[in-house]
Chains A and B, each alone.
Chain A
Amino acid sequence: MRFDEPAETNPIDQLKVIGQPLSRIDGPLKTTGRAPYAYERHDVAPNAAYGYVVGSAIAKGRIRSLNVEEVQKASGVLTVVTAENAGALGQGNFNFAKLLCGPEIQHYHQALAVVVAETFEQARSAASLLRIDYGPERGSYDLEEVKDTGRPAQITSGPGDSSVGDFAGAFAAAAMKFDETYRTPDEAHAMMEPHATTAAWDGDRLTVWTSNQMVDWGRSELARTLGMPKENVRLVSPFIGGGFGAKLFLRSDALLAALGARAVQRPVKVALQRALVINNTVHRPATIQRIRIGTTASGEITAIAHESWSGNLPGGKPEAAVQQTRYLYAGEHRLTATRLALLDLPEGNAMRAPGEAPGMMALEVAIDEMAEKLKLDPIEFRLKNDTHYVPDNPVRPVSPDPQSIADREKPEPNKRPFSQRRLAECFRVGAEQFDWQKRSATPRQVREGRWFIGIGTAAAFRNNQLTKSAARVRLDGQGVITVETDMTDIGTGSYTIIAQTAAEMMGVPVEKVVVRLGDSMFPVSAGSGGQWGGNCSTAGVYAACVKLRELLAQKFGANSADVQFTDGLVKAGNRSASLAQLAGDAGVVAEDAIEFANLRDSYQQSTFGAHFVEVGVDVATGETRIRRMLAVCASGRILNPKTARSQVIGAMTMGAGAALMEDLVVDKRFGFFVNHDLASYEVPVHADIPHQDVVFLDETDPVSSPMKAKGLAELGICGVGAAVANAIYNATGVRIRDYPITLDKLLENLPELS
């Protein structure tokens, strides 16, 4: 199904099942321990041997020699796989450091061997007997130091630089000017389940039960790396214990499990130990961001520039921290720039809302600072510079009569409208609910006992991305609908919203729907990433269900336009038949994909929100404790308010972590992340998050998909850090532009104590 016109009224709009706050249908499996995770697949791969990955002890250099003799003699050891005996390995398209290295070492804890043994303890113990002689080389580990060697670089969505009008001239001429630099640190995804895989070979065919957000990418990359036909690889990933982007790509666990299993001719399973999750896999790269804003005396932005520096290994991408600045606020003269320097740290890559998450942590503090300079309420300043059109985009054709903005105004020619943009409403609703009017515009005015109290706000913004997504639906003689797609559920609720979609389309209760996900035998879906999964995968299921409805209408002998699907029945006029009857013993199968066509060129599709945060800062110690948080989101139709809310409160929590504590600390001498476990890389615990509210504006976006939904799970993190930072400033009068905002940075500017 091609989606190239805005969606009209369709069966999803009935909202009998879609839009209901259903509990997750896979919940009981998880709470009773029956959901099979990658490392526990003894049901399908019994007798698996255990692989233990050995990571490099140096960040850069060469392996001079590697002696496996003692390891091989250790009790229980079956084999040791290294680059020397692994056979030729190809290079994937999505990872750029080798997943099994040697003799060249590109980063700390890069995998250089997997020890396979009968038990986990034997493998781990034997791994310590590996004798490695390293030839270390000098590496580059300090972003601050190499920043100015950074070169222009593409970001995932396109050019890293953009320019509209004459920024330099307009900034110089601006009545009010602002120029500050912000820093965000490297961050870890810190998902609960580490990267893990069980692998088994049957002749030249390989199956991996793994934890991967993108089944088809993972399958293709594994085939590419092993130099085998993709058809011979099956990748199964039905349950994933969190990913946040860390499991978008093939990682060493899957490759080394496959190599180990091939070597010992039996299933092998590998889970990365926590330290390797940090230094062996991927992280969100640190950024340095400079923001300049020029306005009129009354606060209209006339010039805005956002430049970002980050580092990565050769072949890596920059953090796209400037992205949102091209969309969020008006202003005639604009500039964004992205610079990428070489660093010999582990691979930097996507983590929840790559680009916007750190970008908004800078931009939305800059906006708060500028508002204060202008003596404007920060919400008022934002709304003054609201825009219905993308301010920073090459002009693209606009459809003649775009319905979605018809109620607003006639589209201006040569400007590209947002399909929906309710930023202002998000702020208005949020301000009301959060009691924003009680905020003191002057900082450090509110004190309760030993706490300074402050509140802050920030916009939330993240683009809506669209990716082809396919599904297969089968109706059987019992009237049960089975949906199969390689879509993944990374804790987000995919199982549930897909079941709701099929139930709504086919007129059956959710209990009549079986959802099977995460298997490369199923049609290729959008997968889980970039907050595209929910909208795109359900749209794919929609497409397959439309086809199934047509097939059933045919069987029923009626025109599909005249047929109703309701209460397990197919009805036309005064005739009706049950779905089960129509399916018969043979059943009926339909498969289709949603493919997104040129609508995305005509409209900018983005998601919007407003974050509000209240903090207390201890007058003596500078400890910041969040007291309450609110997010108001406008991101299309909410398919399931319960799972959607969980996504947003999880994202808010992650944003709080980014603001207050998360920091992968680089040892600039040795070139690695020092705090590589969950005791020393702190993420928020329950005590850090006392109260959260989420409000979804009632919105449908017919331009995004037949579901009229959009992405949400990443919107929730974008802007949170800035709202926390702004609240800390409001509480203390201290502006910290270097995340995380830990007490040591606040301390010297807090008032003296008697």
Chain B
Amino acid sequence: MKPFSYERAETVEQAAASAERNPNARFVAGGTNLLDLMKLQIETPSHLIDVNKLALYKIEPTPDGALRIGALVRNTDLAANERIRRDYAVLSRALLAGANGQLRNQATTAGNLLQRTRCPYFYDTNMPCNKRKPGGGCSAIGGFTRHHAIIGASDACIATHPSDMAVALRLLDATVETVRGDGTKRTIPVADFHRLPGDTPHIETVLEKGELITAVVLPRPLGGVHVYRKVRDRASFAFALISVAVVVQRDGAGRIALGGVAHKPWRVEAAEAELPRGVKSVMEPLLAGARTTQDNAFKRPLVQRTLASVLAEAKG
């Protein structure tokens, strides 16, 4: 860990302004990922802005029937919220599939979106990594890649995004509300929030410097049957090899999002149109252009089989 200064922000505006003043600042909320990364000197902020005092803890309906989740709502509270469990069950299930009770008590909604990859080469600072040192090369490529991306990856990075929650948010077409350093606000669809690695895998989201997430908004409930299936080597406390989130309507229409396959939660709307024609028809557009390694080639059949199983479950 490098020495850093610390402040506790009282208001959203103050936090955003402070971030703009301190170019090498980071916001800290639950700290479940950031602090580990700081200990390893993968993240080396010179200034930490603690946002835990900001009034961003509410889960409240909006006038148009959507649901606004404060950025600081803990994963445990979000998963247990009655409205979430009733109207957005896939989100509750995705949250509960992640981490463990202690971490979920600490982790926040915004922080979960911003957690960084669990690529082991990213975590070993002796190894080249384009996320840690842009242009330094990727040591995962050609190495141990069982957990790595099969789609949307680049020659610079094959890491995956580790979040379960984000997969459900993508499925639900959530939006992210933010405040910039100059006080202006904007709304970003989750679909556009995370970036594919391309040549700049160190830039993981479209957030600007100092931009603070204040809320995540879920559109009106979709109805239908919600399933989140996380596939992993042990029964709990493990990142997904792959995960499949679906909402299936009575008429067979539905949505599909995948975790563990790409640098961001993966959803292809065109593939969903194939649902009435069965899983095999869905797979082609869903994973078009996928590139696998010997280690992670299993992910493609695993997605197909899991999807088939999940759809069967959803149809009862």
Chain A residues packing against B (C-beta within 8 Å): 57-58, 75, 121, 124-125, 128, 275, 450, 618-623, 625, 660-661, 665, 667, 669-670, 674-677, 679-680, 682, 684-688, 740, 742-744, 747-748, 750, 753-754
Contacts of B289 in A (CB 8 A): none
Q: Does B236 contact A (CB under 8 A)?
A: yes
Is the contact region of chain B dominated by helix, strand, or loop, or is it mixed? loop
**Do B298 and A747 touch (CB < 8 A)?**
yes
Q: How far is the CA of A684 from the CA of B39 in the complex (A)?
A: 26
Which of B76-84, B121-129, B164-172, B265-273 participates in binding chain A?
B121-129
For residue A106, give the distance in angstroms from its CB to the closest CB of chain B. 16
Residues of B in contact (CB 8 Å), total 38
Compute how far the CA of A568 lies from the CA of B143 in the bound complex, rounded to whole angstroms.
Answer: 67
In the bound assembly, the distance between CA atoms of A703 and B233 in angstroms comes to: 44
For residue A674, give the distance in angstroms from its CB to the closest CB of chain B.
Answer: 5
Name which residue of chain A comes closest to B239, CB basis. A679
A-B contacts besides A670-B139, A680-B120, A740-B233, 8 pairs, CB < 8 Å = A128-B41, A665-B144, A670-B127, A680-B118, A682-B238, A742-B233, A750-B305, A753-B305
Residue in B41, B146, B279, B312 whose beta carbon sits within 8 Å of that of A744 in the complex: B146
Scan residues 231-259 of chain B and give those whose CB is less than 8 A from a CB of chain A.
231-239, 241
Q: Does B316 contact A (CB under 8 A)?
A: no
Q: Does B142 contact A (CB under 8 A)?
A: yes
Question: Are B302 and A747 in contact, with the CB atoms below 8 A?
Answer: yes
The digit string for B297-316, where 1 denotes a CB below 8 A from any CB of A, is 01001100110110011000
Cβ A621 vs Cβ B231 within 8 A: yes
Residues of A within 8 A of B55 (CB): none
Q: Say yes or no: A623-B231 contact (C-beta < 8 A), given A670-B127, A682-B238.
A: yes
Q: Which residues of B contact A (CB under 8 A)?
A: 1-3, 39, 41, 118, 120-121, 123-124, 126-127, 139, 142-144, 146, 229, 231-239, 241, 279, 298, 301-302, 305-306, 308-309, 312-313
User: In the complex, which residue of chain A has the Cβ closest to the Cβ of B140?
Assistant: A674
Q: Which of B2, B241, B298, B312 lies at the interface centre, i.e. has the most chain A CB atoms within 10 A of its CB?
A: B298
State whether B139 touches A688 (Cβ < 8 A). Answer: no
Min CB distance A252 to B, Å, is 17
Whether B234 contacts A661 by the Cβ 8 Å rule is: yes
A682 pairs with B234, CB closer than 8 A: yes
Q: Which of chain B's residues has its CB closest to A668's CB?
A: B143
Which has the most chain B C-beta neighbours within 10 Å: A124, A661, A744?
A744
State whether A744 and B124 are in contact (beta carbons under 8 Å apart), knowing that A619-B309, A687-B235, A753-B308 are contacts in the complex.
no
Q: Which of A660, A674, A679, A748 contacts B301 (CB 8 A)?
A: A748
A58 CA to B127 CA, complexed, in Å: 10
Whether the Cβ atoms of A685 and B301 lie closer than 8 Å is no
- Whether B235 contacts A685 by the Cβ 8 Å rule is yes
Question: Which residues does chain A contribute within 8 Å of B2, judged by CB atoms?
Answer: 125, 128
A674 touches B121 (CB 8 A): yes
Q: Assess the B234–A684 pair: CB atoms within 8 A.
A: yes
- Asked if B144 and A685 make an inter-chain contact with CB atoms under 8 angstroms apart, the answer reads no
Bound complex: CA of A744 vs CA of B120, how far in Å?
Answer: 19
Closest to A127 in B: B41
Query: Please, which residues of chain A bring their CB within 8 A of the CB of B229?
Result: 621
Q: How far is the CB of B174 from chain A (nearest CB, A)?
A: 27
Q: Are A688 and B234 in contact, with the CB atoms below 8 A?
A: yes
Closest Cβ of chain B to A125, distance in Å, is 6
Measured CA separation A619–B236 after assembly (Å): 19
Q: Tell me whether A679 and B118 are in contact (CB under 8 A).
A: yes
Q: Give Cα A121 to B231, complex, Å.
A: 38
CB distance from B12 to the nearest CB of A (A): 31
Q: Residue on B with the closest CB to A740?
A: B233
Residue in chain A with minimal CB distance to B299: A744
Q: Which B residue's beta carbon lies closest to that of A667?
A: B143
Q: A669 contacts which chain B residues (CB < 8 A)?
A: 142-143
Known: A669-B143, A674-B121. A125 touches B1 (CB 8 A): yes
Partner of B309, one of A121, A621, A687, A747: A621
Q: Give Cα distance in the complex from A676 to B127, angstroms.
A: 13
6 interchain pairs (CB within 8 A)? A128-B2, A450-B313, A687-B234, A687-B235, A747-B298, A747-B305
| Inter-chain contact A450/B309, CB cutoff 8 Å | yes
Contact status of A621 and B120, CB under 8 A, knowing A57-B126, A742-B233, A743-B231: no
Candidates B1, B120, B238; contact of A674 at CB < 8 Å:
B120
Residues of A contacting B312 in the complex (Cβ-Cβ under 8 angstroms): 753
Q: Is the CB of A743 within 8 A of B234?
A: no
Determine if B143 and A621 form an interchain contact, defined as CB atoms under 8 angstroms apart. Answer: no
CB <8 Å contact, A620 and B305: yes
Q: Choose from B1, B143, B241 the contact partner of A743 (Cβ within 8 Å).
A: B241
List, in ascending order, chain B residues with CB within 8 A of A679's CB. Answer: 118, 239
- Which 10 interchain pairs have the tightest Cβ spacing? A620-B309, A744-B298, A687-B235, A57-B126, A687-B236, A753-B308, A620-B305, A674-B144, A661-B233, A621-B231
